[in-house]
A and B are shown apart, each in its own frame.
Chain A
Amino acid sequence: RKEVEQDPGPFNVPEGATVAFNCTYSNSASQSFFWYRQDCRKEPKLLMSVYSSGNEDGRFTAQLNRASQYISLLIRDSKLSDSATYLCVVNPTGGGNKLTFGTGTQLKVEL
């Protein structure tokens, strides 16, 4: 089983749609979780951290389900500029900087 697993997509959605991505992780002892965004031919950038209580940043909502070992990202009112690859990232040890990345889910927002 992969350490971090994501549906690669692509998810093609119309502008204004709501879209959700899920990600599962294999290490039940994992401590911290993140979503990164990577635009085409660009470097990954931190989008948001994922907290146990769930967290929201504008149109973006991230949630963590420790019991089922999955993380979700919800994007409301999609914009063309949201088109990118969304990387699920897990810190399996809780300390240090050894992040484990998923392969990413590609989102294409269309007119």
Chain B
Amino acid sequence: ETGVTQTPRHLVMGMTNKKSLKCEQHLGHNAMYWYKQSAKKPLELMFVYSLEERVENNSVPSRFSPECPNSSHLFLHLHTLQPEDSALYLCASSQDRSGTYTGELFFGEGSRLTVL
């Protein structure tokens, strides 16, 4: 079992649908992230939560809405998406330590989203 679990693994939705992506980490980490990975583009950081508080919102359109109810769970709520939002959405976690950073993110296997 991986330390970071994402569901669903695949999602197809229409532009008017509302859906959610779920992420759960079993590593005892205190920071969680959403990244977007599109073909031939670098991973794009979308949101960062540290100690359940959102500390980063990288100019992401409001049709993406994150939620972090506790340090183990992270959601990405999706509504009225566009076809260009089709991508692999990766959740990650890390252990934040004040003043130090190891650079190690633990990723889930991703949720592949197709918007029709």
Contact = CB atoms under 8 A, between A and B. Distances in A.
Interface of A: 2, 4, 8, 32-34, 42-46, 49, 87, 89, 91, 94-104
A91 B103 contact: yes
Given A97-B96, A101-B42, A89 B103 contact: yes
Please report whether the interface of chain B is mostly helix, strand, loop or mixed according to DSSP.
loop
Interface residues of B, number: 25
A97 to B, nearest CB: 6
Contacts of B56: 96, 98
A43 B102 contact: no
30 contacts: A4-B42, A8-B40, A32-B101, A33-B103, A34-B103, A42-B109, A43-B4, A43-B107, A43-B108, A43-B109, A44-B90, A44-B105, A44-B107, A46-B103, A49-B102, A87-B43, A91-B103, A94-B101, A95-B101, A96-B101, A97-B31, A97-B33, A97-B48, A97-B105, A98-B48, A98-B56, A99-B45, A99-B103, A103-B40, A103-B42
Given A97-B31, A97-B96, 11 more contacts: A4-B42, A43-B110, A89-B103, A96-B55, A96-B56, A97-B50, A97-B94, A98-B56, A99-B105, A101-B43, A104-B42
Nearest to A46: B104
Contacts of B94: 97
Given A96-B55, A98-B48, A46 B105 contact: yes
B64 to A, nearest CB: 18
Nearest to B95: A97
A103 B43 CA distance: 7
A4 B94 CA distance: 22
Nearest to A90: B103
B103 A43 contact: no
B104 A43 contact: no
Interface string B82-116: 00000000100010100101111101111000000
Nearest to A5: B42
A49 B103 contact: yes
Contacts of A42: 109
Contact of A45 (B31, B103, B107): B107
